[in-house]
Structure 1
Amino acid sequence: MPPTQTPHRTPLRRISQGSLFALSRSGAYPEAPHGLGFLEPAMSEFVDETEALQANIEGMKHLSDSLATFNESFASWLYIMNMNALTTDWPQAPSDASFVLAQKRAERDAQAAMEALRLQAEAEATRQAEAAATAALADKTAMTDATEADMTYANTTTTTASAQSSTKTGIPKKKGVKPKLTAKEKKERSIQIERIISCLPLEFRGSDPNLRRNMENVIEGLLNAPSQTVKLPDLITPPDLSQARVNKCLIALVNRKVVQKDNSTGTVLYKWQGIP
């Protein structure tokens, strides 16, 4: 007889290190009973972990519901946009109204360009007219200055001859006549005098009206003098301009460096310098 074959048997599995028996004998629970009493702390931990797992699963379910709601809403919006694109007409080719508007715009631009050219031509004509008027005024002023110079020379010659004759006859001579100024020159002269007086001390700027008038006369005398250089006696005109007042005005002008005092020749001369 053939030998009897031993049936296959599944070998017993060894008790793992995490078995209940090993857990009951571990050092974590040294006072655990030998029976089923060691299951109580293990089941407590199992219940806690199960509750945590249930909370996580509920959170994932809530997140899944939120995503499903968003996906449904977003899909609805995309569907509406697609339907709107399919049912709305978007004409891209220009119509007859577009050509009419383009023609009107071109006409308006042409009118604006013509208006700009007209304004430029008018401005050029105005500038040329002003330049011509300025040149004519300059010529007129030059002619007036030449005429006044001739008259001044004639008056000076007459005055010199009169002085010589008066000297011979014993009659005292008179001072020369001041040169005549045009309205424009008078205005410029007054502006220049006002600027100079505004730089002087307060008593010359209106605190004493007589002193201000004396200062204006002194400045006028300096500007009208030949080479704008004078001596102190040349500015004295009694009774308004006495020697003391003229000397006071000249000291103020010298201190402000409007006038330069020069005594290098042995004679004290006052030269006009202007505002530095």
Structure 2
Amino acid sequence: MPPNPPHTPLRRLSQGSLFRLSRSEAYPDAPHGLGFLEPALAELIDEAEALQTNVEGLKNLDNALETFNESFASWLYVMNMNALTIDWPQAPIDASFVLAARRAEEDAQAALEAIRAAEAAARRPPTPPERTMTTERSAMSPSEGPTEANITAGTGGTNKSAAKPGVVKKKGTKPKMTAKEKRERGLEIERILAALPLEFRGDDPNLRRYIEQVIEKFLDNPGESFNIVAFVKPPDLNQARVNKCLIALVNRKIVKKDNSTGAVLYYWNGLPS
């Protein structure tokens, strides 16, 4: 008889139940029944525990990343706020403080000189007033001096009024400004105040009023120079406030400070172009 042709054996699981698999000749020492599943389940438990450990590690990593992201975002926000509130490009440098100290020293020296000048003027004895021509004429008798008729005759009949020596002319009052002039003056003062620091532009209404008085003093007397005492109007506009206003105007080069003559004088320059 010819030998049986070779054939591919079927898989073991397809040849019968789990019982037959456990009792097969290939695994004679296999446990009875479902006992062979115990090692597989033990390995599955070990793998499940390893998976749980890895998942917990991923969870801890996620919590750590969340904490880091929150802290890093807070740090970036603080740096941004710091740049917006503290990091000013026009912040003063060391040279600014040196310049400010030198200006303060010059202003203190100018104030001291003004006080000394005021004290010297107060200690100076008053000069006796000169007698006017009217007083002399009223004091003279007709025989002691020329009469009005003789003076008229000696001048060819004309009675020209001459300036009387010793009579001080009163300064004329400031002419009234029209509505247009007031409006133009207000606009000019606003342009000047716009170039000054914020405290002079409405942050302190009293300080704004003081510097407006100082500016109007210059505008009412164009081309003239003044010392610091000329702006003092007690009790509101004292010397310290005038000094502060003049320092702000000098720093913006609106007013020029000159001490070449020995006395500190201030000149009006106007807004720089």
Q: State whether TM-score is above 0.5.
A: no
| Structure of greater Rg | 1
Shorter-chain TM-score bucket reads: 0.3 to 0.5
| TM norm structure 2 | 0.36
Higher relative contact order (CA 8 A, sep 6+): 2
